[in-house]
Amino acid sequence: MAREHVTLPVYMAYCAIAGALRPWNREGSRAIVTLEVQDDYYTPLYTQAARVFAAGIWRPNEWEDSHVFEWSAKSGRDEVQAEKSQRAIFLSPPEYRLTEENRLFSDAVIPMGPRTRRHAEAALRRAKLPVDESTIDLLMSEPWSRLSKAFQDRRGPLQALDRLRQTRGQNSKDADSETTESTGPTLAEMHGIGPALDWGNNLAKDLADYRAGVIGWKDVDGGVLISGPPGGGKTMFASALANTCQVPIVFGSVSRWQEAGALDEHLKAMRNSFAEAKARAPSILFIDEVDTIGNRMEADRNRGYMRGVIAGLLELLDGFERRAGVVVLGACNYPQLVDPAIRRPGRLDRHLEIAPPDAQSRLAILGFHAGLDLDGDQAEKFEFATDGFSGAEIERLVRDAKRVARRRSETLSADHIVEQLPSVTVLPEDLLHCIAVHEAGHALVGFEIGHGQIADIKISSFRMDGSSRPLGQVEIERAAPRRRTKTA
């Protein structure tokens, strides 16, 4: 086994595989063996470790990388290839349920336990690094995904450990502290986004009870579908939810999974996101663009491919007990396009619509991106001019204001923000008086004819240039319908 081709975490995974496959650890042996791995799993590392093991027991002219496979619903071609060579290692990830056919095909199905401290010690000794308890604790507590990113062929193991410790201090919460360093807003800073806000606050309380052992995972909402227009704040809501719940968030995307390539690679990328979220549980897995995954009833030339993708996602969503601690948030623009099976009970069975941000929420979004608070006329002008704006549009407005301030060598201020607002005109006092009288007339007539209770009367001090938006309105709570009679 060439040292330069095996990183420290790969060797840790190799130790687990070698221990499980000890009866076959001899050169020239022939077998098709399945390793049934537990929750502590990361596909790229374990696949590479299995290839290293296989290269050691099978002669180079008999060895191909393709002799290591991962069981999935689409493993037919892998079985043909394994049967042809009469030697292969199949990995069964935690979210996959081995079928009777899988077991019959395998010469042996061996449960493989998680990494151990002995594996970490062996990896440190092989890398000629000091074997101390703090380093072993680090290697045992970090998710496989972070270990894989830290230890690279181009980077020495000591340098990798230093980088791992540095980022751990920046990105993980102190075990002795009850607070975490926020990298964005919390739900307390978001307003006017509809029922999603109440659901998120309830989830935060449930996760706290789950961590305290008060409730089991079955009492926590493990999957929800959120929808809204592009740029409407779905991603910001997910980040705010994670900050409120004080749990890590893993970002996935249907389009990024698809970039992995063919169906097998697509499915592996999807499973890796779930595995990373599981390794960091309790956590939130945010899946963006879930409506683009398609519907199994659609008929086009890509139907077979997408059916395989949807089937793979359903398997991952169905593993409720196995993904204990992982809340899945699927985000989309068009919920009606999501396959009904994805929205069945036990999967993404709750649908929440992210409403456009109201005035208070828009001011909070501005404060987050710009670090500024508007007051008085500036706040009123901002609320009026950004009516209907999404969070992304407000972020763009702040970006433009910052650019102007930089060009002028000035510190960003509220004036720069107001300057970027759509052009509005301040209405003169006499016109405001006319609008007020007009709206008061609507209110009086509505009240006298019993149209309903007057809830609010609003007039605007501004007019947006080129807009036909009403300058005033009367909000009426309509009375309950009355049964009609001959006299009324």
pLDDT score for 3: 41
Q: What is the CA radius of gyration of the chain?
A: 29
pLDDT category at 172 given cuts 50, 70, 90 is very low
Task: Read off the pLDDT of each residue in 61-76 and give the average, rounded to a whole number.
Answer: 71
pLDDT score for 5: 67
Any idea which architecture 359-422 has in CATH?
Orthogonal Bundle (1.10)
Q: Please give the CATH number for the structural domain made up of 187-353.
A: 3.40.50.300
SS3 170: helix
Q: CB atoms < 10 A from the CB of 436, how many?
A: 13
Burial zone of 53 (CB within 10 Å; 0-12 exposed, 13-18 middle, 19+ buried): buried
E strand map for 375-429: 424-426
Task: Read off the pLDDT of each residue in 38-59 and give the average, rounded to a whole number.
Answer: 83
pLDDT score for 185: 74
- Indicate the Cα dihedral angle 442, 444, 449, 451, nearest 10°: 60
pLDDT score for 241: 92
pLDDT top residue among 4 and 388 = 388
2-6, 83-87, 335-339, 347-351, range with the lowest pLDDT: 2-6
C-alpha span between 93 and 274 (Å, rounded): 11
- Which backbone phi and psi does 468 adopt, to 5 degrees? -100, 25
Task: Read off the pLDDT of each residue in 338-351 and give the average, rounded to a whole number.
Answer: 88
Sign of torsion over alpha carbons 149, 155, 156, 159? negative
Q: Which residues contact 151 (CB under 8 A, 6 or more apart)?
A: 7, 8, 9, 10, 157, 160
315 an active-site residue? no
Contact 122, 106 (CB under 8 A): no
Percent of the chain with pLDDT over 70: 83
Question: Residues 258-262: contacts with CB within 8 Å, 24+ apart?
Answer: 258/309
Task: Read off the pLDDT of each residue in 145-174 and give the average, rounded to a whole number.
Answer: 75
Whether the predicted pLDDT of 238 surpasses 70:
yes
pLDDT top residue among 126 and 72 = 126
pLDDT top residue among 378 and 476 = 378
C-alpha span between 172 and 175 (Å, rounded): 9
pLDDT digits (tens, 9 = 90+) for 428-473: 777 777 878 887 887 787 777 776 777 777 776 666 555 555 666 7
C-alpha span between 62 and 360 (Å, rounded): 67
Per the residue annotation, which of 439, 448, 475, 477 is the catalytic one?
439
Residue 276: closest CA among 323, 315, 329: 323
How many residues does the structure list for the chain? 488
Q: What is the pTM of this model?
A: 0.52
pLDDT top residue among 372 and 59 = 372
Whether the predicted pLDDT of 286 surpasses 90:
yes
**Single-letter residue type at 434:** C
Burial zone of 457 (CB within 10 Å; 0-12 exposed, 13-18 middle, 19+ buried): middle
Q: Which residues contact 86 (CB under 8 A, 6 or more apart)?
A: 30, 32
SS3 175: coil
Q: Write the DSSP assignment of 243-267 as a string of letters.
A: HHHT--EEEEEHHHHHTT-SHHHHH
- 210's tokens: 């789950």
- Indicate the Cα dihedral angle 357, 359, 364, 369, nearest 10°: 70
Contact 289, 329 (CB under 8 A): no
SS3 79: helix
pLDDT top residue among 303 and 414 = 414
- 316's tokens: 């991952």
Write down the mean pLDDT value for the chain: 80
pLDDT digits (tens, 9 = 90+) for 184-223: 678 887 766 778 889 999 999 999 898 888 888 889 988 9
Residue 418: closest CA among 388, 380, 391, 470: 380
Whether the predicted pLDDT of 320 surpasses 60:
no
C-alpha span between 250 and 18 (Å, rounded): 31
